[in-house]
């Protein structure tokens, strides 16, 4: 280990991390060349590929490395939150039709094809322009870009660094949820913890919000797979061969490192564009079912942020501002007030952090803190974090039984794959309230609002 491992958790969550060997991964990440400060893990830590999910690591640009395992296969998997002016009580009778319309508008499930087919030229445009491409096609408003990380596009993206195979996988998947833990969820704001932040974000108790969780689909998966192969083969001929093959890495300043980062940024742009296209489907569903305009319903973007990405940021190292490559895998950037990366409307508050739970419990809207900048390179949790494997979860309850149980709680669910639904049951996840409370206790983020699920479209 070149640096310590530092885990933000309570005793029970630490024990769980030991049991699934995620802590061993924290130690392995600490061995990466050029890593600074520590190998961090958030309270939602669990076993991942190479890096633990919930892992954060920053490496120096000069002499440091980038590792695809520190980003993951679902590049730019992230979350978007839409606010509304709709009181939940007024929409209660329409919740079933709303969920059905969302399921019609937003294809979900493994390998699902979307309604936006891209030709060879258009896929390159999406990889370069990100969410901006969607807006140029009428899928959203220009104002949205202010409330998306990097204004909707990573400028370092280079479509030429993405394989033709990866592009083919993405050409028919724009505007689709995918499978696993991805979802669109209609929620009710049930509690406010920070009124000034809630006012800035336009969130009120009793009003509906919509949360979107998805990523770069097959395109991002293929980018990761392609570069893991290239980097692993290169490592076999160099002194970078890790004791853990899943931690394959390459110098940031090498040609392979530059190529991967440019391809990763392009895949991240696809992820941002995908959530933009899904949001368009959400707005169409609401206006169709409720018979009112988007403006009247107050369907506006709060924020959109990825939690599987590596990006260049300046942070203090030993008191010196230093450019670093910050890997966040299942962890969310949580910059404190005053940072230029934050939308102007929120800069006095801090960056919004959107933290989904599971379809049977709460989700949270948080805000980044100044303390987080100093403690973990401006990072916090990304969700509840799994506590049970998908195989074990599937054995616990059938998808049909889970749907009935959630319906008894007043939660309507539509799933692209009902058999796989039980893999994502609430019992498969940690207690998200506990996770966000720990993050607040150690200063990584602050709670702003608690959101309760009412209707879910599941991948």
What is the rounded CA–CA span in Å between residue 394 and residue 386?
A: 13
For the chain, percent of residues with pLDDT exceeding 70: 97
- The pLDDT value given to residue 398: 87
Question: Tell me: the pLDDT tens digits for 273-320?
Answer: 999 999 999 999 999 999 999 999 999 999 999 999 999 999 999 999
Picking from 403, 442, 376, 422, the residue whose alpha carbon sits closest to that of residue 3 is 376
Distances (CA, A) of 363 to 2, 176, 357, 359, 380: 36, 22, 5, 9, 15
127 contacts: CB under 8 Å, gap ≥ 6: 157, 159, 162, 167, 266, 267, 269, 270
Q: If one looks up domain 5-458 in CATH, what number appears?
A: 3.90.1860.10
* pTM score of the predicted model: 0.95
Can you give the pLDDT of all 459 residues of the chain as single tens digits? 999 999 999 998 888 888 888 999 999 999 999 999 999 999 999 999 999 999 999 999 999 999 999 999 999 999 999 999 999 999 999 999 999 999 999 987 666 667 899 999 999 999 999 999 999 999 999 999 999 999 999 999 999 999 999 999 999 999 999 888 899 999 999 999 999 999 999 999 999 999 999 999 999 999 999 999 999 988 766 666 566 789 999 999 999 999 999 999 999 999 999 999 999 999 999 999 999 999 999 999 999 999 999 999 999 999 999 999 999 999 999 999 999 999 999 999 999 999 999 888 899 999 999 999 999 999 999 998 888 888 888 888 888 888 888 999 999 998 877 777 888 888 888 899 999 999 999 999 999 999 999 999 987
What is the rounded CA–CA span in Å between residue 209 and residue 331?
A: 22
- Verify whether residue 151 is a known catalytic residue: no
Question: Tell me: the pLDDT tens digits for 184-218?
Answer: 999 999 999 999 999 999 999 999 999 999 999 99
Catalytic position from the list 221, 315, 327, 382: 382
Could you state, in order of their start, the residue ranges of all structural domains in the chain?
Answer: 5-458
Helices (DSSP H) in 291-329: which residue ranges?
294-297
Picking from 43, 72, 263, 58, the residue whose alpha carbon sits closest to that of residue 180 is 72
Helices (DSSP H) in 106-172: which residue ranges?
120-129, 131-136, 164-170
Helices (DSSP H) in 175-216: which residue ranges?
195-201
């Amino acid at each position: 280990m070149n640096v310590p491992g530092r885990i933000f958790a309570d005793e029970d969550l630490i024990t769980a991390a030991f049991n699934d060997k995620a802590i061993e991964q924290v130690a392995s990440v600490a061995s990466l060349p050029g890593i600074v400060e520590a190998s961090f893990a958030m309270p939602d830590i669990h076993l991942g590929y190479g890096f633990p999910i919930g892992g954060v690591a920053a490496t120096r640009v000069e002499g440091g490395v980038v590792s695809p395992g520190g980003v993951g296969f679902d590049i730019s998997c992230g979350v978007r939150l839409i606010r509304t002016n709709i009181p939940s009580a007024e929409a209660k009778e329409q919740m079933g039709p709303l969920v059905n319309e969302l399921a019609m508008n937003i294809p979900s499930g493994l390998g699902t094809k979307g309604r936006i087919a891209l030709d060879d030229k258009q896929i390159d445009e999406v990889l370069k322009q990100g969410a901006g491409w969607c807006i140029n096609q009428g899928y959203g408003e220009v104002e949205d870009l202010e409330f998306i990380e990097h204004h909707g596009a990573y400028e370092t993206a280079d479509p030429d660094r993405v394989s033709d195979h990866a592009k083919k996988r993405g050409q028919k998947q724009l505007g689709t949820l995918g499978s696993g833990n991805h979802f669109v969820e209609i929620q009710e704001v049930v509690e406010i913890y920070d009124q000034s932040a809630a006012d800035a974000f336009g969130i009120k108790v009793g009003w509906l919000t919509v949360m979107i969780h998805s990523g770069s689909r097959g395109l991002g998966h293929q980018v990761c797979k392609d570069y893991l192969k290239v980097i692993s083969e290169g490592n076999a001929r160099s002194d970078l061969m890790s004791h853990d093959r899943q931690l394959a890495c390459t110098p940031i300043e090498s040609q392979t490192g530059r190529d991967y980062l440019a391809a990763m940024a392009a895949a991240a742009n696809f992820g941002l564009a995908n959530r933009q296209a899904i949001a368009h489907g959400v707005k169409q569903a609401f206006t169709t079912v409720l018979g009112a305009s988007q403006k009247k319903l107050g369907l506006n973007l709060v924020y959109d942020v990825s939690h599987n990405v590596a990006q260049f940021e300046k942070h203090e190292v030993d008191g010196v501002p230093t450019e670093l490559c910050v890997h966040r895998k299942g962890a969310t950037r949580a910059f404190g007030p005053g940072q230029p990366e934050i939308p102007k409307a929120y800069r006095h508050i801090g960056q919004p952090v959107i933290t989904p739970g599971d379809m049977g419990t709460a989700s949270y809207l948080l805000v980044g803190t100044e303390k987080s900048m100093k403690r973990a390179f401006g990072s916090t949790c990304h969700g509840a974090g799994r506590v049970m494997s998908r195989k074990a979860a599937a054995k616990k309850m059938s998808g049909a039984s889970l749907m009935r149980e959630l319906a008894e709680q007043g939660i309507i669910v539509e799933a692209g794959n009902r058999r796989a639904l039980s893999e994502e049951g609430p019992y498969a996840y940690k207690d998200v309230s506990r996770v966000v409370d720990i993050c607040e206790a150690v200063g990584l983020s602050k709670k702003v609002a608690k959101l309760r699920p009412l209707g879910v479209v599941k991948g």
